Amino acid sequence: MERRALLGLKTQPLRTSGGGGAAQATYLRLPTITANVRRPGGRLGVMTVETGVDTPDAALRTRVAQSAPRLRAAYAAVVQQSANALLPGTPPDVERLVAQLQAATNTVMGRAGARLLIGTVMVV
């Protein structure tokens, strides 16, 4: 299943000196982030979050690709904090999680312009 097609993400043409053009994706998928949570009855569970970054600006897109390990570390810290605050049996607050992850993206990149995209948020 192609999730980018569902989200309606577009590719932007990359202009070359020969007049030809090649499409370059503006989306970078990052590995799934996981964190431990407490489930009802005291058992341990896992919270998983799929993330990606959409960056239309080519220069910033290069920085995002180079900063992928730093982004992943920042996202892992945010997801673990969110999982620690989660009460057993309650669903995660996805809107708050997205806002915190976007703030982490802006902090790591040093400026706005890279938009966080979230896939699945799941607690099992």
pLDDT in tens, 13-70: 333 334 455 556 899 999 999 999 998 888 999 999 999 999 999 999 999 999 999 9
Instruction: Give me the pLDDT at residue 42, please.
Output: 86
Share of the chain above pLDDT 90, in %: 75
Q: What CATH number corresponds to the domain at position 107?
A: 3.30.479
- What does the mean pLDDT of the chain come to? 85
In total, how many domains does the chain have? Answer: 1
Q: Give the structural domain span for 86.
A: 3-14+23-123
Average pLDDT, stretch 77-85?
96
* 3-state SS, one letter per residue, for the chain: CCHHHHHCCCCEEEECCCCCEEEECCEEEEEEEEEEEECHHHCEEEEEEEEEEECCCHHHHHHHHHCHHHHHHHHHHHHHHHHHHCCCCCCCCHHHHHHHHHHHHHHHHCCCCCEEEEEEEEEC
